[in-house]
Structure 1
Amino acid sequence: MRVIDLRSDTVTKPTPAMRKAMAEAEVGDDVYSEDPTVNRLEALAAETLGLEAGLFVPSGVMSNQIALMLHLRRGYEVIAPEGAHIYEYEPGSLAVLSGGTIRLVRAPYGIPDPADVKAAIHTSIHQAPTGLIELENTHNTAGGTVVPLEAQRAVQQVAREAGLPIHLDGARLFNAAVALGTSAAELARGFDTVSICLSKGLGAPVGSVLLMPRALRPEAWRYRKLLGGGMRQAGVLAAAGILALTEGPKLLARDHQMARALAEGLVRLGLEVDLRAVQTNMVYFKPKDATGLAARLAQVGVLCNALGERIRLVTHRDLSDEDIPEALRRIESVLVGA
């Protein structure tokens, strides 16, 4: 029985072209900035996103946390949309590493109202002062939803008027760009720092890149070392990252189409799916018993994650054209047998 893995787009495996590039990669010691392949990846990412400099790091959590360390003073606060990854899935890192706190604002479908962001800014001596505003595009827990350009621009304007930096968690920024029919550079414009992940839908085995102004890079480089993220002959990983950046975005539209087909199929099975939230490669639905259903689906070879009361399904490049209809058949068989 073929296993259909819908837990995440992080399960994607490097392509044959990536494996070849990794095997042939020119390498050096990246802690000394002497790995030519890492240097090429960082330059390519900066050019692609329209920022001045990039820093290759092992994970998306590290790229976000380095950005927070760059922007925050101890005791300061980050304003972020409800359900933000830096709050839900980066286990206390903000408090431990930056000594900061977080204030969440209401964000239907991942989109905060700029008026709410403005109202959340604190300057009083009696409160944690605001040090940073953060957005997430696409927004994971909202359903893989996209934040439109005009919504981003409105929050950026609030940040500018308050004299605050603004960070974009763009782990799946290329999914947002494809869904909106624009470029990743256009979505990255106006942010002080941007993190992107190479190992999700883009298909690389490891790594994220933090983009920033050139003046911030020396400090970011030091923070990477502080966090244990300095890698030596990392060109073997960067080589796959280069292909992920250049080739990966071309395949994301197919992932989105599969997610839409999956969501519509689940609705036909009588499951509760908010189709408005199915904008990229994620589908959330709310069964009676998420944990129990996920366990039963695993028994028939459909892997998924139960996240609280919901189940999340994620489509990706390693799925075949037959996997979505087959997954729906197996899900139906489990529901009928329940």
Structure 2
Amino acid sequence: MLMLYTPPPVDPKAPPVRVNLLSDTQTRPTPAMREAMARAEVGDEQVGDDPTTNALCERVADLLGKEAAVFMPSGTMCNVTATLVHCRPGDEILAHETAHIIAREGGAHAALGGFQVTQLPGPDGQFTPETFRKALHPRTRYQPSQTVVSVEQTANIGGGTIWKKAALDEIVAIAKQNGLATHMDGARLLNATVATGIAARDMTAGWDSAWIDFSKGLGAPIGGALAGSRDFIDAVWQWKQRLGGSMRQSGVCAAACIYALDHHVDRLADDHANARALARGLAQIAGIEVQEPETNLVFFKPDGAGVAGDKMVAALRQRGVMLAMMDGRIRACTHLDVTAAMIEETIGHVREIVRGA
């Protein structure tokens, strides 16, 4: 059974956090990013008059190889508005059983759109093209219309794994053969592009809608941008308005996202290197089971060392290190506010806790 993300309990007596591996959403805007925000030229986004937001949308559309893009307050709104456009009430979405749209969006797709999500199995947060093909059924009045297939790049609960380009292309081909739209939850898409060297527009080729998140590894305080055809984005805009996501002087936030695209993409490789270093160090501690990271997420279980996962998370928090339990494992997430020295400190604390056990 899928176990949702469990944040560490709030302990007013806990020491200050020195190493925050809870999530890449914990990043803080750098001084240079704040300066870019302060200098941003702004207007009214609702009437298309914010030049900085417009520039960001044009840039994301080009980055992802789409006709247009729209700036959103959150990645969840990118996913929800996309399915609200692709689907009609009663329609069926196909996605991996651990996908963000199932595990982390509060049932929004059912609550707001009346959609059901079919959960496709598969290791490491991914289903195979053959699993997708087998889940398809003939179009009859007895079953819901299957209208969209969604993938999450990278697969968060799967361990930050990267969907292979060949698998993505095959899923697109199967979807098109069967009349389904394709949607890519690209919250950490740029982690995948940096790790593989495959351009974002090549990774999203054939996908009807795709988006990137700026508030994770890219270090902006807020926002995502959803891209697709002009007609699709026009329809998304109506849902953005309905859901209260249409903003005014959003250029202040868009400026942070532009700064992130200029300065924080290539450095994602540093986060990947830190994740590998953490995994290597943890694997050298007897009894700890570690999933080899492909990007910036490290999942591990200390049960074999005689320490339950939740106990390890609590003990690390008392040492100023913050991690989280996710799907029965501990997740550590590296980002621009985590240094190589912090990784070594974390490994040292884990070693001490295991020794104590």
Q: Cα distance 1:87–1:2, how it changes in 2: closer, same or farther (>3 A)?
A: closer
CA shift for structure 1 position 10: 0.7
CA shift for structure 1 position 179: 1.4
Q: Secondary structure at the match of 1:21?
A: helix
Once residues 340 and 198 of structure 2 are traced to their aligned partners in structure 1, the CA distance between those partners, rounded to angstroms, is 26
Once residues 308 and 52 of structure 1 are traced to their aligned partners in structure 2, the CA distance between those partners, rounded to angstroms, is 37
Once residues 67 and 177 of structure 2 are traced to their aligned partners in structure 1, the CA distance between those partners, rounded to angstroms, is 23
CA shift for structure 1 position 182: 1.1
Q: Which amino acid aligns with 1:131?
A: T
Paired position in structure 1 for 2:55: 40
Paired position in structure 2 for 1:272: 289
- Are 1:115 and 2:134 an aligned pair? no
- Are 1:187 and 2:206 an aligned pair? no
Within-5 A mapping of 1:1-338: 3-122=18-137, 123-270=139-286, 271-275=288-292, 278-288=293-303, 289-338=308-357
Question: Residue by residue, what CA displacement relative to the aligned partner does 1:19-77 show, whole Å, maximum 9, x if unpaired?
Answer: 11100111111111111110011011111111111110000000010111010110011
CA shift for structure 1 position 319: 1.2
Once residues 295 and 101 of structure 1 are traced to their aligned partners in structure 2, the CA distance between those partners, rounded to angstroms, is 37
Q: Which amino acid aligns with 1:35?
A: D
Question: Residue by residue, what CA displacement relative to the aligned partner does 1:156-184 show, whole Å, maximum 9, x if unpaired?
Answer: 11101001100000000000111111111
Q: Cα distance 1:134–1:2, how it changes in 2: closer, same or farther (>3 A)?
A: closer
Answer with 101-110 or 206-215: which moved more: 101-110
CA contact (8 A) 2:17 2:317 kept: no
Q: Which amino acid aligns with 1:330?
A: H
CA contact (8 A) 2:162 2:294 kept: yes
Question: Residue by residue, what CA displacement relative to the aligned partner does 1:274-295 show, whole Å, maximum 9, x if unpaired?
Answer: 22xx100000112332222211
TM-score, normalised via structure 2 length? 0.92
Q: Which amino acid aligns with 2:197?
A: G
Stretches of structure 1 that go unaligned for 5 or more consecutive residues are: none
Once residues 284 and 158 of structure 1 are traced to their aligned partners in structure 2, the CA distance between those partners, rounded to angstroms, is 32
Q: Secondary structure at the match of 1:250?
A: coil
Q: Secondary structure at the match of 1:284?
A: strand
CA shift for structure 1 position 264: 1.0
Answer with 25-34 or 143-152: which moved more: 25-34
Calculate the aligned-residue CA RMSD, in Å: 1.2
CA shift for structure 1 position 2: 6.3
CA shift for structure 1 position 248: 1.5
Once residues 23 and 49 of structure 2 are traced to their aligned partners in structure 1, the CA distance between those partners, rounded to angstroms, is 33
CA shift for structure 1 position 208: 0.3
Once residues 249 and 142 of structure 2 are traced to their aligned partners in structure 1, the CA distance between those partners, rounded to angstroms, is 48
More helix by share: 1
TM-score, normalised via structure 1 length? 0.97
CA shift for structure 1 position 126: 2.5
Once residues 81 and 329 of structure 2 are traced to their aligned partners in structure 1, the CA distance between those partners, rounded to angstroms, is 31
Once residues 28 and 245 of structure 1 are traced to their aligned partners in structure 2, the CA distance between those partners, rounded to angstroms, is 21
Q: Which amino acid aligns with 1:272?
A: E
Q: Secondary structure at the match of 1:319?
A: coil
Once residues 126 and 196 of structure 2 are traced to their aligned partners in structure 1, the CA distance between those partners, rounded to angstroms, is 14
CA shift for structure 1 position 124: 3.3
Q: Secondary structure at the match of 2:55?
A: helix
Question: Residue by residue, what CA displacement relative to the aligned partner does 1:102-152 show, whole Å, maximum 9, x if unpaired?
Answer: 111122223322121112123233222211111111000100000010010
Paired position in structure 1 for 2:13: none
Stretches of structure 2 that go unaligned for 5 or more consecutive residues are: 1-15
Once residues 328 and 103 of structure 2 are traced to their aligned partners in structure 1, the CA distance between those partners, rounded to angstroms, is 15
CA shift for structure 1 position 246: 2.2
- State the identity as a percent: 42
